[in-house]
Amino acid sequence: MARQTSVDTYANKATAGMRSSNGNYFIDTKVNGSVKKDTVTVTAADLATTATINGTCYTYDSKTVTVTGANLSTTATVNGTAYNVNSGGATLTKTEIATLLVAAINLGETLAVASLVGATCVIKSVVGTITVVGTANCSVAQTSQTTTVIANGLVVILNAQESGITATSDAAIITIVSDTVGTTYTLAATTNCTTAVVNANAAAIAFGLFVSSDANDEDMAMLPSVAADVTSRRALGFSEFTQTREQSDEGWKINADINYVRRGTIWAVAEEAILISDTVYIRHTANGTGKTVIGIVRTDDDSSTAAALAGCSVLQYDATTGLVELDVNLPA
């Protein structure tokens, strides 16, 4: 006979993350040591893109200086410094003048680097925004770049200039990961990009919440941040309450080995009332007031901010504690 959804004396004694009845269990352990991760998404092509990490502004900006005539003195001003190439009476082609201009800029600039493409100097920023002005025998334009090229360029800048993080890119999306478990950094998007927190799990993981394995290190547990953390093989189970391992009143401490229930019955934290006939969804993205707890159970996808968890069903819901008893049977 199915259990009823009404609250009984047993339910009122439930604690978040507590195993609720005897039976077969699959309980495993991973480290609550997920590093801080964020994404920077480049939103438009052909524009300078700036992200600020730990208060330092990093910009990928690319401009061209095209030499317009041979045998003439050519001047380009980069970040306020004028770089002049004078033929000195020699016969120089536009490409030869551009070659000398590239060398002069690279010798004098620490915030920009120049390269040669025919009779054009391509000038890219190293840290911050660059200003380039053509003053004699040349023209200046913003370099045409795709969002993918901009993202790749910004990754090179970040990895060369900022310590404590590693940046990678996939098309127009840059992923920034802290190099050390438990440490943090600040990230802000200021020009032509947006940022999103992928996993800032550098704190205790509360009991009775759903956890996933970290895509960057499968031996680490994290609160889910995307639907795939719930629907893919990264799905782990529910954080168990136990007094046999290091923990705090808030949950499993950072860097602690956490227990999670992958198979068995457990009391999980619910965001709303849930019936035995409801599908179990797990919140992976905050969605406004009262919807900020990641890893919590709810009844629908809430505009794609929660994902359905296969192999999990409702036994009963306790309105007094806001806990739901679940029968969990995730794939081994």
Q: What is the pLDDT of residues 33-44, one digit of tens each?
A: 767 888 899 999
Find tokens 């994902």 and name the residue: 307
Number of domains within the chain: 2
Q: Taking 60 as the threshold, does the pLDDT of residue 12 lie above it?
A: no
Strand order through the sheet with 120-125: 112-117, 120-125, 62-67, 138-142
CA distance 244 to 282: 27
Answer with the one of 169, 200, 231 that is the final residue of a domain: 200
Same domain, yes or no: 285 and 194 = no
d(CA 110, CA 104) in angstroms, rounded, equals 12
**What integer pLDDT is reported at residue 37 of this predicted model?**
84
C-beta of residue 119 within 8 angstroms of C-beta of residue 137: no
> Is there a domain that residue 2 lies in?
no
Model confidence at 9: pLDDT above 50: no
Which residue has tokens 């317009």? 68
Shared domain for 215 and 304, answered yes or no, is yes
Report how far apart, in Å, the C-alpha atoms of 288 and of each of 22, 40, 97, 276 are.
38, 22, 58, 26
41 plus 94 within the same structural domain: yes
CB atoms within 10 A of CB 239: 30
For residue 20 the two structure tokens come to 């609720």
Which residues make Cβ contacts (< 8 Å) with residue 112, sequence separation at least 6? 78, 79, 105, 123, 124, 125, 126, 130
- From 76, 47, 44, select the one nearest 60 (Cα to Cα): 47
For 65, list phi and psi in degrees, rounded to 5. Answer: -120, 115
Domain residue limits at 315: 9-34+202-329
Could you say which of 200, 227, 252 is where a domain stops? 200
Give the amino acid at 313.
S
Out of 70-79, 187-196, 266-275, give the one with best mean pLDDT.
266-275
**Per-residue model confidence as pLDDT tens digits over 175-215:** 998 887 767 789 987 788 998 877 666 678 999 999 999 87
